[in-house]
A = this chain, B = another copy of it.
């Protein structure tokens, strides 16, 4: 029986490490910088962070030796082999046995999973999963992905890639970099909104978004705010985003028949989006499914901790399975 897992949450700008107990409490949390220059640099940053944590806290005897390490990684992850398979953003272009290397170095079991799967494991255990057996965790941040939960279990798929809902298509006739036309992520993610605004910037010389972009402050929340204040470009970007989001949620409902949808990620910080989705579903949902409207919510788990807790939970589950 495991007692304590060392959770490692590798994000775009930081690596969070902490001791996570099975009840979800975190102690001895530390923060290290993450890196994205190349695959080698990104992996070296993770290994350096784990080694620094280990030296400061484990080797020194300041904390008990953890029973396992759980890694939460962006992109495609082979959770059985703890391999970092692919990530566009980081970038990881060649599968890398990160878990095995860390495991050999510190003589400890290492489990890895995709960050949205990790967050979903945290929702199952400590969040919306305490009320619902069938739900979807929808994460809209820089990209879009979901954790699909059926009968209390995370659906992983064959290669642990289930839930890539950012590349299902809406009814929008513009090519996506994945090779399809009309993918939702191209407009409806935080990153997609920024790219879409930039692509249209020339047509809207008076838009406040140009100034925001120059100042490095053009993100989903400031675009939505500008739309609320009447900026024509921001309205166009936000309305297309809303249309694509609504289409994606309708597809999710048709696919999964969830009892609840719990939303996470930066784009949901502004309540406008969730309200718009709920408004759009009203009138479309059949009468016997209207209860779903009350169960579309923003995650109540701390967005700063959900990844870390989930990474540790993944290790708890995989090593005790």
Contacts and interface: CB of A to CB of B under 8 A. Distances in A.
Interface of A: 85-86, 95, 132-134, 148, 150-151, 153, 155-165, 167-173, 179-182, 247, 250-251, 254-259, 283-284, 286, 288-289
A256 B162 contact: yes
A85 B287 CA distance: 12
A160 B155 CA distance: 16
Contacts of A254: 164-165, 167-168
Contacts of A172: 171
Nearest to A182: B171
A259 to B, nearest CB: 4
Given A148-B255, A150-B157, A151-B153, 16 more contacts: A134-B156, A150-B153, A151-B155, A151-B156, A157-B258, A163-B257, A165-B255, A168-B168, A168-B254, A168-B255, A169-B169, A169-B171, A171-B172, A173-B173, A251-B251, A255-B255
A236 to B, nearest CB: 19
14 contacts: A85-B288, A86-B286, A150-B150, A151-B156, A155-B155, A155-B256, A157-B258, A162-B257, A164-B254, A165-B255, A167-B250, A168-B250, A168-B255, A171-B182
The DSSP consensus for interface residues of chain A is loop
B85 A257 contact: no
A36 to B, nearest CB: 21
Contacts of A161: 257
Contacts of A171: 169, 171-173, 181-182
A95 B256 CA distance: 21
Contacts of A148: 255
A134 B155 CA distance: 9
Contacts of A159: 257, 288-289
Contacts of A283: 179
B169 A157 contact: no
A173 to B, nearest CB: 6
A286 B159 CA distance: 12
Contact of A156 (B158, B167, B170, B257): B257
